[in-house]
């Protein structure tokens, strides 16, 4: 989901050593564009005797892991499952110890098995991975035998040079190597970025595609991120890069693969949609009114050449297995496996050895829950324990106390309890005249990456918020800005939540105490924010007056489709969002008087 990048980690160095870094140029040289044999071929050996005309290839896929090596806590770690009687049950899922077991179990008896991902494997990660610039996650993905992934927007959080390091290996340029005598090896699977080119040279930043081969079976994978990546990543993350149209790019490389004799093609697309139900086992092809899937992926799928046989998607953190017609009107499979490793998709591609193509009519696909009642993969447990030991001195430090769960990522409401806490923390920290004189604060919903969960995650005790838990909520370490905006610009910014690029999928800003307004969802576009109801501390917003507004640097740059917020002047740069969050927890909670979930009464919603 849209959110903001992590940076400025040097102060939280764990171990440091001098290290070299592969440049983007070196990356392109090391991984030239073109077909590449990725024949991991999980299980099975070469066939003997007469080969049957068709062979079933198992495609396992997942997306939006976001460095969640441990099972995600609270409601963010649940999957919704519709029961036979129509009720919906929440099932705890995810964690790479279980994901590894699920994938390895699924591969048994499938000599032709390939594992692919739809982007956002790293970025916006919990402390266990984020503190180490996501090296633990790349190491885990290597252990999961991932064959290929597309880049997502979060792969650009720390810029193209850091993405090159994740691919090629080498220790971090500032923080060095984290383990004595161990150099980070990088990903042993290719990151694909067909629609990302370097501004100066026009050349692809990374490989546009790769070809998986086994016993004469060849399947091409083309990987793209959403064209709108620059709108949801800070400017530094995408500096010097151009992002191109997903459909045009995929069609171009599908033609190239076809010319090379690769007729079976899967597109990995970091863009997605929203099914009519949030249950993972919803029948997306139900014919009823309002059923099916909506969102950007529908138009993308309809435009992609019939040469492509299946689409693995992501970005929206939704679960779906749908068919969307290709340009010739034939149904084609489009899948997404929720997020955080809670699901995986198992797709059967029937490969015709005579035509070298997939028999589209027999493509079958289903999502499966990564349940937590199966055995843990011992190698993943060892990996988590190893990195947890390094993180522990920082991760386990108490920051504050809460009396109950305070939901953020797990809340589906426009106004989230944890969003109110974060916005209030930002206002309180930046209200003093010498800190910026803020009168109101805005927080982007996509930047809230988890819930604050009352149940202890380790030995700290119930209700204790550790640094690691606070970091998991706000992992970007964004610097805060306080700027001048007119009342008219403020009103426009609030209207941009539900209009322009945000009209189809609103992004409702979390607001600090004192700001109130009505959101009328029965209306359309900007009218959904009822201008006459917008008040600050009980007074109507004056269009001509100047207000001091606090927000993170991502929003202050106009990110997430809020150009009005990018028009601020007289900027003062404050502390980081995480520092303000932790300071607020410390100031407003004790063991005997923990912080309670705040009321959500700032935005009046009419539905």
Q: What is the pLDDT, as a whole number, of residue 18?
A: 32
Q: What is the pLDDT, as a whole number, of residue 476?
A: 92
Q: What is the pLDDT, as a whole number, of residue 19?
A: 34
Residues 6+ apart with CB under 8 A from 189: 38, 141, 142, 146, 147, 148, 149
- 597 to 75, 217, 404, 423: CA distances (angstroms): 15, 56, 7, 14
Residues 6+ apart with CB under 8 A from 288: none
Q: What is the pLDDT, as a whole number, of residue 458?
A: 87
Question: 453 φ, ψ to 5°?
Answer: -105, 130
Q: What DSSP string describes 186-248?
A: --SS-EE-TTEEETTT--BSSBSEEEEEETTEEEEEEEEE-TTGGGSS-GGGGTTEEE--HHH
Rounded CA-CA distance 315/292 in Å is 18
H/E run at residue 267: strand 265-270
Helical H segments across 282-377, by residue range: 296-303
Q: Do the strands 78-82 and 357-358 form a parallel or antiparallel pair, or are they unpaired? A: unpaired
| Closest to 339 measured CA to CA, from 95, 74, 91, 90 | 95
Global confidence as pTM: 0.89
- 182 to 17, 99, 136, 169, 178: CA distances (angstroms): 11, 26, 13, 11, 8
Low-confidence ranges of the chain (pLDDT < 50): 1-47
Q: What is the pLDDT, as a whole number, of residue 49?
A: 57
Q: How many CB atoms lie within 10 A of CB 373?
A: 7
Q: What DSSP string describes 469-484?
A: HHHHHSTT-PEEEEEE
Each residue's pLDDT tens digit, 510-531: 999 999 999 999 999 999 999 9
Tell me the angle at which helices 246-259 and 296-303 cross, rounded to the nearest 10 degrees. 30
Q: What is the pLDDT, as a whole number, of residue 234?
A: 86
Q: What is the pLDDT, as a whole number, of residue 477?
A: 86
| Closest to 344 measured CA to CA, from 10, 76, 43, 93 | 93
């Amino acid at each position: 989901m849209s959110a903001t990048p992590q940076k400025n980690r040097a102060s939280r160095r764990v171990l440091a050593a001098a290290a070299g870094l592969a440049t983007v140029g070196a990356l392109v040289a090391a991984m030239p564009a073109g077909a590449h044999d990725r024949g991991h071929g999980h299980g099975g050996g070469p066939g003997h005797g007469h080969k049957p005309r068709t062979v079933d290839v198992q495609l396992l896929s997942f997306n939006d892991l976001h460095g969640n090596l441990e099972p995600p806590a609270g409601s963010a770690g649940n999957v919704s499952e519709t029961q036979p009687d129509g009720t919906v049950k929440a099932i705890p899922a995810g964690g790479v110890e279980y994901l590894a077991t699920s994938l390895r179990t699924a591969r048994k008896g499938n000599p032709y098995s390939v594992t692919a991902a739809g982007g956002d494997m790293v970025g916006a990660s919990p402390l266990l991975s984020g503190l180490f610039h996501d090296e633990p996650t790349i190491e885990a993905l290597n252990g999961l035998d991932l064959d290929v992934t597309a880049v997502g927007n979060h792969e650009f959080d720390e810029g193209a040079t850091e993405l090159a390091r994740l691919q090629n290996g080498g220790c971090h340029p500032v923080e060095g190597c984290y383990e004595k005598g161990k150099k980070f090896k990088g990903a042993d699977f290719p990151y694909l970025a067909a629609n990302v080119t370097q501004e100066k040279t026009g050349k692809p930043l990374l490989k546009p595609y790769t070809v998986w081969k086994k016993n004469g079976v060849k399947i091409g994978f083309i990987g793209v991120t959403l064209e709108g990546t620059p709108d949801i990543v800070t400017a530094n993350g995408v500096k010097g890069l151009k992002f191109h149209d997903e459909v045009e790019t995929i069609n171009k490389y599908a033609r190239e693969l076809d010319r090379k004799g690769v007729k079976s093609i899967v597109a990995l697309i970091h863009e997605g949609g929203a099914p009519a139900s949030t249950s993972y086992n919803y029948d997306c092809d139900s014919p009823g009114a309002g059923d099916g899937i909506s969102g950007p992926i529908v138009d993308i799928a309809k435009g992609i050449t019939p040469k492509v046989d299946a689409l693995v998607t992501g970005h929206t953190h939704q679960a779906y297995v749908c068919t969307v017609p290709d340009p010739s009107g034939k149904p084609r499979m489009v899948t997404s496996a929720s997020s955080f490793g809670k699901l995986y998709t198992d797709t059967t591609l029937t490969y015709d050895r005579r035509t070298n193509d997939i028999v589209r009519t027999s493509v079958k696909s289903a999502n499966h829950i990564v349940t937590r009642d199966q055995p843990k993969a011992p190698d993943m447990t060892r990996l988590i324990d190893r990195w947890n030991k390094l993180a522990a001195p920082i991760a386990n430090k108490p920051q504050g106390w809460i009396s109950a769960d305070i939901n953020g990522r797990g809340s589906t409401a426009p106004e989230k309890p944890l969003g109110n806490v974060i916005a209030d923390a930002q206002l309180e920290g930046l209200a003093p005249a010498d800190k910026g004189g803020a009168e109101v604060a805005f927080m982007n919903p996509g930047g809230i990456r988890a819930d604050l969960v009352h149940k202890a995650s380790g030995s700290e005790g119930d209700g204790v918020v550790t640094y690691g838990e606070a970091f998991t909520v706000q992992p970007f370490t964004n610097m805060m800005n306080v700027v001048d905006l007119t009342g008219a610009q403020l009103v426009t910014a609030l209207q941009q939540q539900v209009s322009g690029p945000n009209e189809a999928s609103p992004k409702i800003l979390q607001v600090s105490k004192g700001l109130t307004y009505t959101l009328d969802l029965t209306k359309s576009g900007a009218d959904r924010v009822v201008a006459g109801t917008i008040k600050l501390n009980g007074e109507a917003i004056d269009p001509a007056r100047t207000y001091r507004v606090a927000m993170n640097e991502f929003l202050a740059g106009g990110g997430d489709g809020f150009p009005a917020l990018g028009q601020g002047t007289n900027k003062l740069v404050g502390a980081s969002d995480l520092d303000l969050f932790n300071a607020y927890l410390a100031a407003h909670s004790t063991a005997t008087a923990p912080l309670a979930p705040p009321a959500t009464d700032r935005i009046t919603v009419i539905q």
